[in-house]
Structure 1
Amino acid sequence: MDDAHPQPPAADGGRRRPDATQRAEALKERIYVTFTSLAVVIAVERSGTHASVGGAATTLVLTVLGTLLAVLVSDLLAHMVREEALPDRAEIRHLLWVSLGSLSVVVLPLVLLGAAALGLLGLDVALRTISVVLVLTLVLVTLLAVRRLRVRLGVKVGALVGIALLGVAVLVVELAVH
């Protein structure tokens, strides 16, 4: 994988390079968490006068953890149905690596909420900044996904622009709904 994301442990405890399917699973999970986080942050921002830094952080963390647990359980069940067996240790470690690695998506948003808690930023500024950071995260995750593809540069750029537009569309829809 790349240097920014840890590799899943091998069955013998050492490191092994994840295959394309495993990398795709990790990137897919980060997309889920990023979109979920974006929706939560916008909803908290739109709640306006009822929003607090602690409430925003708690809502974000609980929503992300809930999302990751839901995906982990669904992956476990899908594995059992597909393989007609429980996952072995290596497969469980991989599933946990994918889920726990996705928590990296909310590190910067939580840092920004921490800055708001310290009075360095207003909560409204922190939430708007987090929304922008999350859209940029979508673009970064897409960049990681397409950088090794053997397709024309135009296709890669198109994917990046498309994801950025989708992220902005989520912002627009969320703002219009609230």
Structure 2
Amino acid sequence: MMIFFKHAHNKRKDLSKEEKKIYASFLAERLYGTFTILVLNIGLLSDVENIGKKYALLAIITTTIGLVMASFFSKEMAHKVVHGKAMDKVKVRKTLASKVGIIMAAVPSLIFVSLSYFGLFNMKTALEITVVSEVITILVYVIRAAYTRGGTKLTRLISISLQFIVAAIIVAIKLFVH
């Protein structure tokens, strides 16, 4: 967990190669979770008049748990296929640390839909806040990814534009399926 706190203070250069690998895996899971939870919340928002608060909360909780379990299970299976054995304890810990990213992606939804469940927000407002929060999260990562070494303002703008288009396509495809 300290890896995430180190990075939060913009000390990426202080991370070891292994810590960077773990953090990159965490961010990948965070983004994957954000896309999935965003689409779930858009779906819930599109039918907000017909869904109950309990249903919305359970949908977010079960989707998050399902994502973590599927992600971990697939990682374990892939490791067994490639290496012919189960992951050792260190690899399991590192893999589980990356799965925290999925849980963190669901936090805004869990907070605001829970507040709605307890009557502090109406469901529509709670879902709108979470959708905006998730879109902002994706936008922040898109912008951050564009600021790599050696980029000019033009290349960054092109990178941000292309990545945002790709992100929009991912959401559109996921929405089309749902």
Q: Which TM-score band (shorter chain)?
A: 0.7 to 0.9
Instruction: Please report how far the alpha carbon of residue 127 of structure 1 lies from its aligned counterpart in structure 2 after TM superposition.
Output: 1.0
1:41-56 equivalence runs, <5 A = 41-56=41-56
Question: Which residue number in structure 2 is paired with residue 7 of structure 1?
Answer: none
| Contact 1:27–1:145, Cα closer than 8 Å, also in 2 | no
Residue 25 (structure 2) aligns with: 25
Q: Distance in 2 between matches of 1:24 and 1:146?
A: 15
How far is 1:32 from its partner? 1.2
After TM superposition, give the deviation of residue 20 of structure 1 in Å: 3.6
For normalisation by structure 1, the TM-score amounts to 0.76
1:114-157, Cα deviation, whole Å (9 max, x unpaired): 2322433221121122111111111233455555x323044445
Q: Is the 1:33–1:67 contact (alpha carbons within 8 Å) kept by the matching residues of 2? A: yes
Whole-angstrom distance in 2 between the partners of 1:171 and 1:66:
19
Equivalent in the alignment of 1:3: 8
Question: Contact (CA 8 Å) 1:46, 1:175: kept in 2 or not?
Answer: no
- How many Å apart are 1:46 and its aligned residue? 1.7
Q: Which residue does the alignment assign to 1:152?
A: 151
Structure 1 distance, partners of 2:22, 2:62, is 26
State yes or no: 1:129 paired with 2:134.
no
TM-score (norm 2): 0.76
1:81 aligns with: 81
**Which whole-Å CA distance do the structure 2 matches of 1:64 and 1:104 have between them?**
10
Task: Work out the percentage of aligned pairs sharing the same amino acid.
Answer: 22
Gapped regions of structure 1 (runs ≥ 5): 5-15
**RMSD of aligned Cα (Å):** 2.9
Count of residue pairs brought into register by the alignment? 167
Distance 2:81 2:49 in 1: 47
Q: Hey, what's the Cα distance between the residues in 1 that align with 2:175 and 2:71?
A: 27
Contact 1:112-1:126 within 8 A present in 2 as well: yes
The structure carrying a bigger helix percent of its residues is 2
Aligned to 1:140: 140
C-alpha separation between the residues in 1 aligned to 2:177 and 2:75? Answer: 32
CA distance in 2, matches of 1:92, 1:73: 11
Counting only pairs closer than 5 Å after superposition, residues 73-112 of structure 1 correspond to structure 2 as 73-112=73-112
Deviating more after overlay: 122-131 vs 108-117: 108-117
Write the distance in 2 (CA, Å) between the matches of 1:102 and 1:155.
30
Structure 2 CA distance, aligned partners of 1:32 and 1:132? 17
